[in-house]
Amino acid sequence: MEKNKPTIVVVMPAYNAARTLERTYQDIPLDLVDHVIVVDDASHDDTPALAARLGLRTLVHRRNMGYGANQKTCYSEALRLGADIVIMVHADHQYDPTRIPALIQPILDDRYDMVLGTRIADGQALKGGMPLWKFIANRFLTTMENLILGQRLTDLHTGMRAYSREFLVHVPWWLNSDDFVFDTEMIVQGVACGFRLGEVSVPARYFDEASSVNFRVSVRYGLQTLNVLRRYLLHRLGIAPRDQFRRVEATRWSQTELAERYDVYNT
- Domains of the chain (ranges plus CATH)? 8-245 (3.90.550.10)
Q: CA-CA distance, 60 to 262, in Å (whole number)? A: 9
pLDDT at 246: 97
Q: What is the pLDDT along the chain (267 residues), one digit of tens a residue?
A: 455 899 999 999 999 999 999 999 999 999 999 999 999 999 999 999 999 999 999 999 989 999 999 999 999 999 999 999 999 999 999 999 999 999 999 999 999 999 999 988 666 677 767 888 888 999 999 999 999 999 999 999 999 999 999 999 999 999 999 999 999 999 999 999 999 999 999 988 876 655 556 778 889 999 999 999 999 999 999 999 999 999 998 776 665 666 666 667 665
Map 50-79 to HEC letters: HHHHCCCEEEEECCCCCHHHHHHHHHHHHH
Q: CA-CA distance, 222 to 180, in Å (whole number)? A: 10
